[in-house]
Amino acid sequence: MNHFTENVMRLATRYPDLAASLKAARGQVLTIESARNGSPSARRDGRWIHSAYDPLRDAETWADSHAPACQAGETIVIAGIGLLYHVEALRKKLLPDIAVAVLISDMDEFHDALSARLLGPWSDQILWFSGTPQDIAQTLTATGRPLRCLSYAPASQSEAEFHSDFEQALRRGIARQVGGQLTIALVGPIYGGSLPIAGYVKRALENLGHKVQWIDHSVHARSYDIMGTLNDTRNRQLMQSRMAEVLSQWTLATLAESPPDLVLSLAQAPLTSPVLEHLRKKKFVTAMWFVENYRHLTYWQQMAPGYEFWFVFQQGQCLEAFRQAGARNVSYLPMAADPDVHGPITLADEDRRHYGSDVSFVGAGYANRRRCFPLLLRQPWSFKLWGNEWEGADELQSVLQLNGARIDTATCMKVFNATTINLNLHSTTGAGLDPQADFVNPRTFELAACGAFQLVDHRSLLSEFFTPQEIVSFRSFDEVPGQVKHWLADPSARQAMAAAAQARVMSAHTYVHRMKDLLAQIGLSQPDRIGAVLRGNRRVEALRSRCAADLPLESLLKECPAGRRIELKDLAAQIRSKGPSATLKREELMVLMLDEYRSETRDLV
Amino acid sequence: MLLNSSSHGRALFIQLARMGDLVQSLPAIEAVRERYPNRPLDLLCSAALAPAFAGTRAIDRLIPWNGAQWRTWADQWSHDPIETLRSVETYLTAIEAEGYDRIYNLNQHARGHLMAHLLSHHPVETSHARQADHGLSPWAQYLRQVVAQRGENRVHLADAWCGMCGVRPRGRAPILDGQEVELPEDLSGIGERKGFWVALVTGAGDPARCLPPEVWTSWIRAFLTQIDDGQVVLIGTGQEREAAQAILEATPALLQGRVWDTTGRTTLGQLLTLLGRCPWVIGADTGPLHLATAVRSRAMGFYFARARVHETGPYGDGHWVYQYATQSQPDSWPIKESIGLICDEGRRAAPGWSLWKSHLDRWGVFFDDGSAPQAKDHQRAAVWHALSPTLDDSVAA
């Protein structure tokens, strides 16, 4: 009997369908060759998947690097099949209460693996998953066990799309399940476009039931601005960078007051690399949502290794660039809208007249907008231009509103709601449309959330969020006058489209959706920390159920209020509240002693 | 602290603070040992410092306190509280399954209080809470008051701890009887070769108490120029290597051969050996100065910032301290005065500094500046009389 037949027989007892699929597979995607030590090794598309010298030792090394992180009760999900040396090595290093699952992304590759090597009894302790990434993700999340995803890169990279889809599906699945309460320190910028987003993020996290401590640096904006009035560039930059350092230390001091589960920064948050490194050493989990075009603002290159998790709104090269700069975990997280701010409003007639027009645009005077917008003048419809930094755009002065004042969010909402056709042109420093038109700006989601009709310049990622029945895009600005004419003449189609876009935002593109995704991603990477909290494992009921046979802990938890998340510090606070002269039980004294060491994070500064 | 009346049960000293406090606990430990020679006496102290006290005859059992393990447990709690509590219980049981009859908790720190409660055989009458006055002994309250208000206290911390333990000081300085530990080969000549060996404590645990490297350079230059057979040993941890390097580089090349940089190169045992080989140890960091006195070396302290001679001066007879007049950073240093003093033992005043010499008497150590010692004697007697009237009477008798 050959290896394949014997292996399939072994599998068939637990996985008859999988065995049948294997028999139907053709294999021959791996080239099997003998390694120097005589063991079979393999190449795929010319690249070695296992060592050409000693595949066993190679696999041992991989398993050694991952085994220590694997915790009891977890399911370890391995991406990458190869000849399964790495799966065998890891399985043998883990205790039986840690499950190991393997994603079968390519039945032919699995066929080759089973033909090349005889699986031992260890394989009976493996969970084999085949099917679509979405189905596998759903099955795994339904188990309710903490999941820890590992990738054996030499084998997984040939199925990168499968694994990316799987990870995304898993993230969504976990996002739907999350329920525990995290404490999150939200570090905002001093000023700029990411400042309002910090507010939206805060509200979204709170709506999800998390405790948010917003470290709001915008209160220092005035001082920062005053430093900006220094004429000497060197002095100005020196003072402003010193101020950023002080604010970074201030953030550290604030975090020390009450250490959170997660430090979430928004782009431009004044946290320096040394402070981030310090936080990492103190085991803080840090994340940054970089809501900027990575091609324009490039300071991330120096900061990349500083944050544990990066979230960016661009894909492809952006993700790769961050990884190359040293980012350990970088994920795609697009922009969104906040329905509490961005929504339909009823306007008085006077407001409608003041803020309304056939066509309008709200935004700053970037070069491409200055070049394109004159095309909208002298048309049979009205056009209003709102926003600042339009100095020198003489031709547009006749349509510029409020003398080019900066438009606040409330005014912006009035304009969106009062305008028949809102123009949304992504900024670029060039002459026309953005030549690298990938990300979708917040404005797209905000307009849609208002139920406002918009014409947006085409973005490669737009179809990921909206269908052509929900949003109209243009690929050349020359198309715009014709589009305006067309849509002005068809109010019912316009309103139907705007309503559809609004429904789409509400169902999939709010900051609540994004924060769920963000936390799920972090939880997935840290199943024993953030993941455990999100699964509700730290709630008093969960703890009580775990300590059925443990009297000391049960007695500690007796007085904890139901539904609350209970951490060491909470128990300690509860014990201290009994007063300094209370007679404490032995386990209460132990908790206080443990809390003494936990609170050493106060030495953060 | 808590104190059960049994005089024969096992007793435990808890001292989880840093080296200086640990050495200053020795007078109390030795006094208790002398008073209760048959009572088994254990010491719980930081694992990192334990090796230096391994040979202390007054202690029956040295229990290293593993702070790193507690940190790990604190981290582990959220993953598995049940297992964490079990591990802690196992650890505590290993320290003393039966519990102690008597516990001397010298530092009024929360961890010490908690350990006192956890390891005591009997209900403990002191507070487990942070910063609570409830249950503090009169001596503990006195020390807390001294820390808060400073004032004219003349009772040394080591002697106040004797009072806390219900014993009076022995009137002798404690000695650590450890064996010499082998030094790195290139340092083995320290103290062995002929010469006037002086160890300089390069840095300090509290950055505010560090002497600027240029001050040390000036001191070394003056000392080595004046004393032909003078030899200087720079001691300190790895954190002081940079400062030591700066001192060495600024020292004239002709003198550098007589400066031995040992910073960051010694274990605690080796440090004790080094200190024991240098007749004089000079510095601003109280920890190494206390250690030096315990290996029979003479100590000279430059006390400034928050360091106060009467409370934490080197324990024993014949040590010297220059005390700066204010708590601010000194703007002049007693360089030539201190060198002159260690050469001929003659008092040399320095502008802005007062000079104190240590002595021992029935209430422990005290420092005099050559003026009206009787008045200070009265202050200490009054404190002992108020806080430990029984002990005070027995002394008088």
Q: Spell out the domain ranges in chain B.
A: 11-136, 138-171+376-397, 185-361
Q: Inform me whether the pLDDT recorded for A178 exceeds 90.
A: no
Kindly indicate the confidence band of residue A221, based on its pLDDT and cuts at 50, 70 and 90: very high
A542 occurs within a structural domain: no
A212 occurs within a structural domain: yes
Q: What pLDDT sits at residue B396?
A: 40
Alpha-carbon gap, residue B368 to B380, rounded angstroms:
13
For residue A568, the chain B residues in CB contact (below 8 A) are 74, 77-78, 81
- Nearest partner of A30 among A161, A126, A120, A159, judged by Cα: A159
**The two three-digit tokens of residue B254, written as one number:** 């002709």
Quick check: B114 contacting A, CB < 8 Å?
A: yes
Q: Which of A528, A581, A595 sits opposite B127 (nearest CB)?
A: A581
A534 occurs within a structural domain: no
Could you tell me if A39 and A96 lie in one domain? yes
A520 occurs within a structural domain: no
Q: Which of A547, A580, A587 sits opposite B134 (nearest CB)?
A: A580
Interface test with A, best of B46, B75, B76, B88 (most A CBs within 10 A): B88
* pLDDT per residue as tens digits for the range B250-295: 999 999 999 999 999 999 999 999 999 999 999 999 999 999 999 9
* DSSP codes joined into one string, A543-587: HHHHTTT-HHHHHHHTTSPTT-B--HHHHHHHHHTT-TTPPPPHH
Could you tell me if A216 and A243 lie in one domain? yes
Could you tell me if A160 and A225 lie in one domain? no
**The two three-digit tokens of residue A586, written as one number:** 């032995």
Q: What pLDDT sits at residue A564?
A: 81
Q: Which of A579, A593, A598 sits opposite B111 (nearest CB)?
A: A593
* pLDDT per residue as tens digits for the range A358-411: 999 999 999 999 999 999 999 999 999 999 999 999 999 999 999 999 999 999
Quick check: B370 contacting A, CB < 8 Å?
A: no
- Last-in-domain residue among A177, A208, A239: A177
Could you tell me if A599 and A475 lie in one domain? no
* pLDDT per residue as tens digits for the range A72-103: 889 999 999 999 999 999 999 999 999 999 99
Positive/negative CA dihedral, B172, B173, B174, B179: negative
By a Cβ cutoff of 8 Å, what residues of chain A touch chain B?
Answer: 71, 283, 528-529, 532, 538, 543, 546-547, 550, 552-553, 567-568, 576, 579-581, 583-584, 586-587, 589-590, 592-598, 600
Q: Do B81 and A586 touch (CB under 8 A)?
A: no
- Between A105-114, A410-419, B139-148, the lowest mean confidence (pLDDT) is in B139-148
Q: What pLDDT sits at residue A22?
A: 94
Positive/negative CA dihedral, A453, A454, A458, A461: negative
| Residues of chain A above pLDDT 70, percent | 98
A67 occurs within a structural domain: yes
Quick check: B88 contacting A, CB < 8 Å?
A: yes
CA atoms within 13 A on the CB side of A563: 1
Alpha-carbon gap, residue B285 to B203, rounded angstroms:
7
Could you tell me if A129 and A201 lie in one domain? no
Q: Inform me whether the pLDDT recorded for A230 exceeds 70.
A: yes
Residue B72 burial by Cβ neighbours in a 10 Å radius (0-12, 13-18, 19+) = middle
Positive/negative CA dihedral, A183, A189, A194, A200: positive
Domain count within chain A: 4
Phi/psi of residue B365, each to 5°?
Answer: -95, 145
At the topology level, CATH places domain B11-136 in: Rossmann fold (3.40.50)
Could you tell me if A172 and A193 lie in one domain? no
Q: What pLDDT sits at residue B32?
A: 95
- Last-in-domain residue among A177, A199, A225: A177
Domain residues for the domain of A374 are 349-509
Residue in chain A lying closest to B69 (CA): A597
Looking up residue A383, the CATH number of its domain turns out to be: 3.40.50.2000
| Residues of chain A above pLDDT 90, percent | 77
Quick check: B89 contacting A, CB < 8 Å?
A: yes
Highest mean pLDDT among A442-446, A584-588, B84-88: A442-446
Q: Inform me whether the pLDDT recorded for A167 exceeds 60.
A: yes
Q: What pLDDT sits at residue B1?
A: 43
- Mean pLDDT for B67-77 is 90
- Mean pLDDT for A409-427 is 96
- Nearest partner of B155 among B376, B327, B325, judged by Cα: B376
CA distance B292 to chain A (A): 30
Judge whether B11-136 and B185-361 match in fold.
Answer: yes
For residue A71, the chain B residues in CB contact (below 8 A) are 79
- Mean pLDDT for A405-423 is 96
Could you tell me if A112 and A220 lie in one domain? no
> Which residues lie closer than 8 Å to A51 by C-beta, 6 or more apart?
A35, A41, A57, A58
Q: Do A568 and B114 touch (CB under 8 A)?
A: no
A123 occurs within a structural domain: yes
Residue B90 burial by Cβ neighbours in a 10 Å radius (0-12, 13-18, 19+) = exposed
CA distance A181 to chain B (A): 14
Q: What pLDDT sits at residue B247?
A: 96
Residue A434 burial by Cβ neighbours in a 10 Å radius (0-12, 13-18, 19+) = buried
* pLDDT per residue as tens digits for the range A29-47: 999 999 999 999 999 999 9
A307 occurs within a structural domain: yes
Kindly indicate the confidence band of residue A602, based on its pLDDT and cuts at 50, 70 and 90: low
Could you tell me if A170 and A199 lie in one domain? no
Coil, strand or helix: which one is B122? coil
Could you tell me if A207 and A295 lie in one domain? yes
Alpha-carbon gap, residue A558 to B79, rounded angstroms:
19
Could you tell me if A428 and A443 lie in one domain? yes
- Mean pLDDT for A546-574 is 81
Q: Inform me whether the pLDDT recorded for B147 exceeds 90.
A: no
- Last-in-domain residue among A144, A177, A210: A177
Phi/psi of residue A267, each to 5°?
Answer: -45, 140
Domain with residues B185-361, CATH architecture = 3-Layer(aba) Sandwich (3.40)
Q: What pLDDT sits at residue A251?
A: 95
Alpha-carbon gap, residue B134 to B127, rounded angstroms:
6
Output Rg (C-alpha) for chain A, integer angstroms: 28
Residue in chain A lying closest to B115 (CA): A593
Q: Do A546 and B123 touch (CB under 8 A)?
A: no
**What's CA A413's distance to the chain center, in Å?**
27
Could you tell me if A432 and A458 lie in one domain? yes
Q: Which residues partner with A359 through β-bridges?
A: A383, A421
Q: Which of A567, A579, A586 sits opposite B78 (nearest CB)?
A: A567
DSSP E strand stretches across A98-238:
99-104, 126-130, 147-151, 183-187, 211-215
**The two three-digit tokens of residue B321, written as one number:** 């301290």
Could you tell me if A54 and A166 lie in one domain? yes
- Mean pLDDT for A235-255 is 92
Arithmetic mean of pLDDT over chain B = 88
